[in-house]
């Protein structure tokens, strides 16, 4: 069975890469707002909005008229159009409000790029991203699966993060037959009619004790801090 899984890591771009990330975020925001305005205008005039295909066909001519768009990752600009299309799809399904113009004052800025011909890859302790090249990142675990896309974010604190979406094959858990009964209890988590006993991990008690110990340590430190101020 194929499932989607997301990995999130902190990245450490150099100064040149930071500038390019900021430019890509700005251009992606511009493309989203530009076509959102055209979408609203078309809906006002004709009662019908634009499609993703219609917007995508206009993007090349827009890049010709605005040279600075050519410097950017083309898949990131296409992703902005896809995000706009998805926002309207959810709006018409009454899942969210009408799409709004993106603001550069938003505390979290981001853009999404898609995997194409190996443009996104993990290379030891670096991640390869379109236009940015190799970016150092905090590799806390292995990325397993086929990479679909990556989202680069800049937080208000100035930290940069990357979220990698992958598709991977997982093995389905064996189904319990209809002839097997399950008795849920307190001492044991469950006892199957086959006689198999599944123990109770008692996570609540374990974390309750850890929380109590942590609160006791914090209380002592607060008392020491107050004495020092006096």
Q: What is the pLDDT of residues 149-179, one digit of tens each?
A: 999 999 988 899 999 999 988 877 666 555 5
Q: How many CB atoms lie within 10 A of CB 20?
A: 19
Lowest mean pLDDT among 44-53, 67-76, 204-213: 204-213
State mean pLDDT over 37-58.
88
Q: Are residues 73 and 142 in the same domain?
A: yes
Q: Are residues 126 and 17 in the same domain?
A: yes
Q: Are residues 112 and 54 in the same domain?
A: yes
Q: Are residues 33 and 104 in the same domain?
A: yes
What is this structure's pTM?
0.72
Instruction: Confirm whether 176 is domain-assigned.
Output: no
State mean pLDDT over 4-16.
94
How would residue 186 be classed by pLDDT, with cut points 50, 70 and 90? low
- Residue 60: give the domain boundaries: 2-169
pLDDT score recorded for residue 47 = 81
DSSP E strands in 77-187: the ranges are 109-114, 121-123, 126-129, 133-137, 146-154, 160-169, 182-184
Tell me how far apart the alpha carbons of residues 40 and 66 are, in angstroms, rounded to a whole number: 22
Are 13 and 125 in contact by the 8 Å Cβ rule? The answer is no
State mean pLDDT over 97-126.
91
Q: Are residues 68 and 130 in the same domain?
A: yes
Strand partners, 129: 133
Q: Are residues 19 and 109 in the same domain?
A: yes
Instruction: Confirm whether 214 is domain-assigned.
Output: yes
Q: How many domains does the chain have?
A: 2
């Amino acid at each position: 069975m194929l499932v989607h899984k997301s990995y999130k890591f902190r990245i450490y771009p150099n100064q040149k890469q930071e500038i390019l990330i900021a430019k890509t975020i700005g251009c992606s925001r511009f493309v989203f707002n530009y076509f959102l305005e055209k979408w609203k205008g078309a809906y006002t005039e004709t009662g019908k909005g634009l499609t993703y295909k219609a917007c995508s066909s206009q993007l090349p001519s827009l890049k010709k008229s605005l040279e600075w768009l050519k410097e950017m990752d083309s898949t990131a600009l296409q992703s902005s159009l896809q995000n706009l299309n998805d926002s309207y799809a959810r709006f018409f399904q009454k899942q969210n409000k009408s799409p709004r113009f993106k603001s550069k004052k938003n505390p979290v800025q981001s853009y999404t790029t898609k995997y194409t011909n190996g443009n996104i890859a993990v290379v030891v302790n670096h991640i390869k991203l379109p236009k940015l090249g190799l970016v150092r990142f905090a590799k806390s675990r292995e990325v397993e699966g086929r990479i679909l896309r990556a989202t680069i974010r800049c937080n208000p604190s100035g930290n940069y993060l990357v979220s990698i979406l992958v598709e991977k094959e997982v093995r389905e858990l064996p189904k319990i037959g209809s002839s097997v009964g399950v008795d849920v209890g307190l001492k044991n988590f469950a006892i199957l009619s086959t006689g198999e006993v599944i123990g109770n991990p008692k996570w609540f008690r374990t974390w309750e004790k850890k929380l109590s110990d942590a609160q006791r340590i914090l209380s002592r430190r607060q008392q020491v801090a107050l004495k020092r101020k006096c």
